[in-house]
Amino acid sequence: MVGIVDYGSGNLRSVQKACERLGVAARITDDPDEVAGAERLILPGVGAFGDAMRELRARGLVEPIVAHIRADRPFFGICMGLQLLFEQGLEGGRHAGLGVLAGDVVRFELPGGFKVPHMGWNTVTWTGEPGGRSPSPSEYYYFVHAYHARPADPAVIAGTTEYGGPFCSAVRRGRLFATQFHPEKSQAAGLSLLAAFLS
């Protein structure tokens, strides 16, 4: 089963529909047993870091998500689903994350002329071949976020994006892969990354 983790955040149905477009049935679930039993897991999300972690804890979802990742089973984090992987987020105070990756999540500090949130289409400079393919540097992906991850270990950075300076826009470790952008909203370029994960 492909499980899409439901912790009360939006955007779940659009991720499910993207999977369906690729010929894969994915189940939206907040059942800890179903999350624990999923062959592949997608953690999407929008909203605030602290609120997201509170919902994950309240629904008993933290342990099965972390166990899935530690077992090196296929995992795809999207937007907030990337940020929650880190040790802490600094949105409205300090909030503990899932702690799967070392580092934190901070608000953009940008030079004049750059708006926060970073919203719209942008490119990614990839490290290696995400999903076993070589994306073109001219491919665009859809972003909407005011905070970004700062990994402590540069080895987990799979992609960077320029917006008033470079920031981490994708991470990879083993069979864990996560993007700050929304692949389900990024047309063919984003769907190709989801397709690689689902296959």
The residue annotated as part of the active site, out of 68, 145, 148, 182, is 182
The alpha carbon of 165 is separated from its chain's Cα centroid by a whole number of angstroms, namely 20
In order along its 199 residues, the chain shows pLDDT tens digits of 999 999 998 789 999 999 999 999 999 999 999 999 999 999 998 989 999 999 999 999 999 999 999 999 999 999 999 999 999 999 999 999 999 999 999 999 998 889 999 999 999 999 977 766 667 778 999 999 999 999 999 999 999 999 999 999 999 999 999 999 999 999 999 999 999 999 8
The residue annotated as part of the active site, out of 68, 79, 145, 168, is 79
- Residue 104 phi/psi, 5° resolution? -135, 175
Query: Between helices 187-198 and 12-21, what is the axis angle to 10°?
Result: 80
For residue 188, count CB atoms less than 10 angstroms from its CB and return exposed for 0-12, middle for 13-18, buried for 19 or more. exposed
Q: Say whether 79 is catalytic.
A: yes
Residue ranges covered by each domain of the chain: 2-198
For 91-120, b/e burial (b = at least 16 CB within 10 A) is: beeebebbebbebbbbebeeeeeeeeebee
What distance in Å separates the CA atoms of residue 64 and residue 10, rounded to the nearest whole number?
21
pTM of the predicted model as reported, rounded to 2 decimal places: 0.95
Fold of 2-198: Rossmann fold (3.40.50)
Q: Say whether 91 is catalytic.
A: no
The residue annotated as part of the active site, out of 91, 95, 148, 184, is 184
